[in-house]
Amino acid sequence: MADRRIERLADVLVNYSVAIQPGDKVLIQGDAPAAALILAVYEQALRAGGHPLVMPILPGMDEILYRVASEAQLQHVSEPMKLIAETYDAHIRIAADLNTKELSGVDPQKMVVERRAQAAQSAETLGRPPTFPWAGGTRPATDDVAEQLLDRTWRPALEVIGADGLPALADAGNVARPTTTLGLSIRIPPGVDPDAITARLTELLTADPPSGATVTVSPGWGATGWDAPPTASWLAAALHASSTAWFDEEPRSIGEGGTIPFMAMLGEQFPNAQFVVTGVLGPGSNAHGPNEFLHVATGEHLTCCVAEVIASLPA
């Protein structure tokens, strides 16, 4: 007997989320435990007049890849997958991992190598993103879109956010300062231990200072970064429906350099949970500033979006 919930979800994915039209080529990828939904999506794609290609993913494949593959194999993107990325009209990915800790024993560096190859392919497929306005002759650190993507998500960054001991220009003179204090903010990638980074940074700053100067480090607080789990198909459909209904735009995801400390704790406590981290930013809003304010109409629409997503939770 068919499960009406699966049939309805497949209908939403095919006819609403990606809106397959007659003649569209669609790739359907999914983990083996989601076989029932994969088959239902396949049927809906055929009924919509599309040309579906199904690529099942077996449990344990990722673990074998990271354990056995060489660096060259991890960097390799197959020609068929390149062709699919460039020529197919839609891609539906259904995640249904049974073992969420399957990759806990693999070498993280191998995952970095493969993700770098994935980022390069994504940048090539998606093309150059919209440009931001730059002041004068300033420009980004790199024009490589894949490097920009990695710099914003999986690489560390250091910023000097404050200084004490430096006089104002009107009071400055050719004199020696007794002390200078700098405030450093360091962004670390998800999965890196902030306490270990603090200890290592303290060691580097105090080991051999120039001219034998006295350097002391007073650590502040550290937080672990977080990377979201794969988006469940029901959540992707709910986000798409609510976003298009209230903003007339498809939802977008972005890697952000800041962090919300409790997200890593929640992810560890609830490894199978789905998360939506959002807020009101952009024109008409000034979050976390001295004059903090929000765009009320956008906040109202966002509240309606979140309410609809919550209402879409599977029973």
Q: What is the pLDDT of residue 1?
A: 57
Other CB atoms within 10 Å distance of the CB of residue 189: 16
DSSP collapsed to 3 states, 78-129: CHHHHHHHHHCCEEEEECCCCCCCCCCCCCHHHHHHHHHHHHHHHHHHHCCC
| Cα distance between residue 32 and residue 58, in whole Å | 6
Q: Is residue 258's pLDDT more than 80? A: no
Phi, psi (deg, nearest 5) at residue 204: -65, -40
Q: List the structure tokens of 220.
A: 């502040």
Tell me which fold the domain 1-10+17-106 belongs to: Thermophilic metalloprotease-like (3.40.1830)
Q: What is the pLDDT of residues 5-43, one digit of tens each?
A: 889 888 988 888 778 889 999 999 988 888 999 999 999
Residue type, 214: T
Judge whether 278 and 306 are in contact, CB under 8 Å. yes
Residue 242 amino acid letter: S
Structural domain boundaries in the chain: 1-10+17-106, 155-188+191-212, 226-315
Region 167-171: what's the mean pLDDT? 91
Q: Over the stretch 216-247, which tens digit does the pLDDT of each residue have?
A: 999 888 888 888 888 888 888 899 999 999 99
CB 45 within 8 A of CB 70: no
